[in-house]
Structure 1
Amino acid sequence: MKYRKIHDFELTREEMILIQEKLSQEVEIISYKGVPKIVSGVDLSFQRDKAIAVIVTFDYESLSLIDLTWAIDFVKVSYMPGFLAFRELPIFLKAWEKLQCEPDIVFFDGQGYAHPRRMGLATHASFFIEKPTIGIAKSKLIGDFVEPGYKKGDYSFLYHKNEKIGIVLRTKDKVKPVFISPGNWLDFNDSLEFTLHFCTKYRVPEITRHSTFVYSKFKREGAFVNQKNSRNFIYFTMVIFSMVMNTLAPLMTSIQERFSISVAVSSILPFISTLGTMISNFVGGFFIAQIGYNFFIIGAIIIQIVGLILFAFAVNFPMIVIAVFLLGFATGGVFLTLTSSYSHLDGKYQNFGIYNAFFGFGGIFAPLLVSLFLRLNLDFRFIYFFHLVLAIVILIWVLSLKPIPNIRYETIKFKEALNIISNKFVYLSLLIFLLYSGTEIGIITWSGNLFYNVFNYSKEFSSIVLSLFWIVFTFGRLLTEFLNKKFTELGTIIYFSSSVIISIALLLIFKHYIFFLFVGFSLSAIFPTIQKYTNQHLPKKWLGMYNGLAFGSTGVGAMIISTSMGVVGERNFVISYLIPFITFALIILAAQKLRIEKAPE
């Protein structure tokens, strides 16, 4: 939601008083026309030098929660009684910008008109958000009143200097009253009626009690983690899990020779890996909200450790298959958690190009590690001992420092998920994810066989070429933001998809690895661009479910496209590498459709 900035916040006390006195002349205590349909409740809480603003949005008639958003930031203005708005509004407005549902009225846990200068938090906020507001305070700031009756709904008026400034309301039998006051653009009767509507079985009305409850839950589950440290953990973990995921491709020929299996039989490995990833993402999309981010990633890392142990001690091909499934399942769960956590960081800590570039760093290191082990004549399974140590380090990091907050949401129901999937904007973007990821994985997975069987490169040199590919690929991802500004997001997808087709054609014609590097650069910006584009245009409440579907669709694409390339490659790898011509032509068509498709609100 947008807001109107009417003044700065880091001011002297005298400047704050002048602003309050000026705005108080514009307050309108007038009757609200009609009945609100959607209302929001706001609460802010502090911990050391940081604060969290929570906004909950309810359907007024049914009292059902329809949206939840929050923001965490450093507090820049010191506490001064009577001037809380200057301290709290900057953080509230960060949360307000993330709000998807436009409320008719906003309740604040704090004062409204019941303020020495008639400018409490609720009243002050109204001028920024341009919405009618109500303040609900647990204690009196100023004024005199007669104690109301002891039954729920009993009330008396609060006066200051012979002016009515608020209402003292008993919200529950024989409990302390709360102090409500209009903020702006509604009157005392409206404030009383709308507040009573949210008085259920608790002293504090549900509209502000729920936001306080959410804050308490966030605090228990680590919402106040240092965002810079959280981002660094996400980047590091992305590299490590990318290394594990990208170790399989340069080892395919070694696995084929060690267990005496054909290319067609070994093609089951990327299929099984992506099956595990796909299942993890689809299941995670539904249940990560209930389980919580921190608990979910802990479970995924433990599964990763089990898979690495199994791979390291594998004595036959079936053990490799099981290990690959577990590693794929764990990777899917970790990437889903990392992406969801990254999306919740403040904007200054987000850059999807850099985020995806760290996946590329893993792709650079993995084949170099494989090449090193092969040159030392070590069994390829020893590589997975190295990965095992790093996975244990990450697990200890998560358990001890909790870099990922265990944030939870209400689970999206199956019918709601179907409505999300059936949206044209959603399924077109998911199609791009499916086609791109399946083709990218296929191009990388079977590159060793293309170089070894068709180009007659050695295994060691093929691994080096793959590392060079990842260097160029990662460099391109670092340029994603620049490219998006130059060509727009959808323009980047269309132009770079066309470049993929041209680069693969040149690779197959001239059989020179330099064109494989062109392929890497052409692929680089497509995934982070569609990821950024969709996350910016979809409603916030859809994002958790959508990310699960997006990563799940990449698994489906890999199962279909990468496996098909392996099966076709059993006969002819040149023909196999013609499949990307079709998939990227479809990506261009889907991106053109997205250009004219309106994003859901």
Structure 2
Amino acid sequence: MVFIFLNIFLGALLANSIAPLMPVFQEKLNATVAFSTFIPVVNTAGTTIFSFIISFFINKLGLKKTHFIGHLFLLSSLLILSFLESLKFILLGVFLLGAGLSIIFTSSTTFLSHFKDPKFGIVHGFFGLGGILSPMFVSLFLKSGISYKYLYLIYLSFVIFLFIWNMKMKFPDIKINEGSFSSSKPYLKPLFYITVLSLFFYSASEISTATWAPNLFLNFGFTKQQAALFLSIFWGLFTFSRFLMDFLLKFVNYRLYVLTITSLSFIFLSLLIVLKIPFLFYLFGLSMGAIFPLIQRNANIKLDKSEVGFLNGITYSATGIGSLLFISLMGYISKFSIRAMFVVPIIGLAVVFLLQKNLRE
């Protein structure tokens, strides 16, 4: 599983490097904040489009070829971002980065599902760890006066290492007869579509909340520095809960676990916007962190192994769309009320709870 952990960790480092580099891109391109939003949008488009595409081809290609293609996309992206600076090349680079990451995440998650005891919590914990460390690495390089390009070159060497490892790695055979897959129609199974819908609303709620949380704390009267600290603690507890998930599953069943943490997430976020107490935000992060890997793990171990690649690709595509929708909707509501905008993720979590409550084994 180490191969999977490293792919996910690297993916998190890369995925979370764009946001802290936005001021650098704006300066180099002499672009306004509004215009520079094309960069994360194009990156998300790459992730969403290729998550959808790879879901239809992963069973035909097999895991080795799928990883191979994902690593090639990442290599191309990092070469472009390391050596070229014009707007068109930066946009191309971040698009290929999003595409490559979507392929790697889909293939790595599918590979993980073939293990006897898949550690989905630990895998997603490594993603969270990468998400915490990535902005720190960017900040360290920039404060030291070192170009971000050298950081991307370091990541490039990491990708080359995984690319070589992939060539020597033995993967389970997931290639299937196209007719047998079509006849099984996994998308009609309640476990399949409830999982996709649950992760759509969960991811939309998680990412939109984290995106707009600093604005909420500023509205409460806290400083920017305090808001940044609250968010850092949130991500730390969020990641800790993911590393803890596989251990807790030894003592509690899936249904009780997912319904408990989803309802707690709903309660803590609701109380936060009323009581304005940052500690509730920490509890919110601790309770919601395991929801995504828990739901994903349940579907990956119960669906047929020929169906999980399709599930994971569709899932990552859906989560990208959901996040964009919720972030945009909350941004619109913020014109009228900052606190009211958080009703959107609260409703999203309520939908996740209802979907999981109605899921029958």
Distance 1:417 1:378 in 2: 55
Looking at CA atoms only, which structure, 1 or 2, has the larger radius of gyration? 1
In 2, are the aligned partners of 1:312 and 1:384 still within 8 Å (CA)?
A: yes
Pairing partner for 1:403 from 150, 158, 169: 169
Pairing partner for 2:119 from 351, 355, 363: 351
Shift of 1:566: 4.8
Greater share of residues in strand: 1
In 2, are the aligned partners of 1:273 and 1:328 still within 8 Å (CA)?
A: yes
In 2, are the aligned partners of 1:300 and 1:331 still within 8 Å (CA)?
A: yes
Runs of 4+ aligned residues of structure 1 deviating over 6 Å after TM superposition are 451-454
Shift of 1:332: 0.8
**What does residue range 571-586 of structure 1 map to in structure 2 within 5 Å?**
574-586=339-351
How many residue pairs match? The answer is 359
The equivalent of 2:263 in structure 1 is 498
Pairing partner for 1:523 from 271, 280, 288: 288
Q: Which runs of 5+ in 2 are unaligned?
A: none
Taking structure 2 as the reference length, the TM-score comes to 0.84
Greater share of residues in helix: 2
| Alpha carbons of structure 1 residues 468 and 310: separation in structure 2 relative to 1, 3 Å | farther
Distance 1:314 1:508 in 2: 44
Distance 2:241 2:222 in 1: 25
Shift of 1:235: 0.9
Q: Which one-letter code corresponds to 1:367 in the other structure?
A: P
Pairing partner for 1:416 from 176, 182, 185: 182
Distance 2:358 2:321 in 1: 22
| Alpha carbons of structure 1 residues 403 and 563: separation in structure 2 relative to 1, 3 Å | farther
Q: Are 1:456 and 2:226 counterparts? A: no
Shift of 1:342: 1.3
Shift of 1:412: 3.8
Distance 1:268 1:516 in 2: 30
What is the percentage of aligned positions where both structures have the same residue? 30
Pairing partner for 1:295 from 51, 65, 79: 65
In 2, are the aligned partners of 1:367 and 1:464 still within 8 Å (CA)?
A: no
Specify the SS of the correspondent of 1:541. Answer: coil
Shift of 1:363: 1.5
Specify the SS of the correspondent of 1:344. Answer: coil
Shift of 1:320: 3.4
Q: Which one-letter code corresponds to 2:33 in the other structure?
A: S
Distance 1:491 1:585 in 2: 16
Q: Which runs of 5+ in 1 are unaligned?
A: 1-230
Q: Which one-letter code corresponds to 2:319 in the other structure?
A: T
Pairing partner for 2:322 from 550, 557, 570: 557
Q: Choose between structure 1 and 2 for higher RCO, CA contacts under 8 A separated by at least 6 residues.
A: 2
| Alpha carbons of structure 1 residues 441 and 313: separation in structure 2 relative to 1, 3 Å | farther
Distance 2:254 2:222 in 1: 35
Specify the SS of the correspondent of 1:233. Answer: helix
Distance 2:188 2:263 in 1: 28
The equivalent of 1:273 in structure 2 is 43
Deviations 1:195-224 (A, max 9, x none): xxxxxxxxxxxxxxxxxxxxxxxxxxxxxx
Shift of 1:554: 1.9
The equivalent of 2:92 in structure 1 is 322
Shift of 1:239: 0.7
Deviations 1:104-124 (A, max 9, x none): xxxxxxxxxxxxxxxxxxxxx
Shift of 1:450: 5.8
Deviations 1:81-118 (A, max 9, x none): xxxxxxxxxxxxxxxxxxxxxxxxxxxxxxxxxxxxxx
In 2, are the aligned partners of 1:305 and 1:392 still within 8 Å (CA)?
A: yes
| Alpha carbons of structure 1 residues 277 and 360: separation in structure 2 relative to 1, 3 Å | same
| Alpha carbons of structure 1 residues 234 and 276: separation in structure 2 relative to 1, 3 Å | same
| Alpha carbons of structure 1 residues 555 and 502: separation in structure 2 relative to 1, 3 Å | same
Specify the SS of the correspondent of 1:315. Answer: coil
Distance 2:205 2:91 in 1: 22
Q: Are 1:439 and 2:205 counterparts? A: yes
Q: Which one-letter code corresponds to 1:324 in the other structure?
A: V
| Alpha carbons of structure 1 residues 249 and 450: separation in structure 2 relative to 1, 3 Å | farther
**What does residue range 229-378 of structure 1 map to in structure 2 within 5 Å?**
231-252=1-22, 255=25, 259-262=30-33, 265-313=35-83, 315-347=85-117, 350-378=118-146
Shift of 1:523: 1.9
Shift of 1:589: 1.2
Taking structure 1 as the reference length, the TM-score comes to 0.53
Shift of 1:445: 4.0
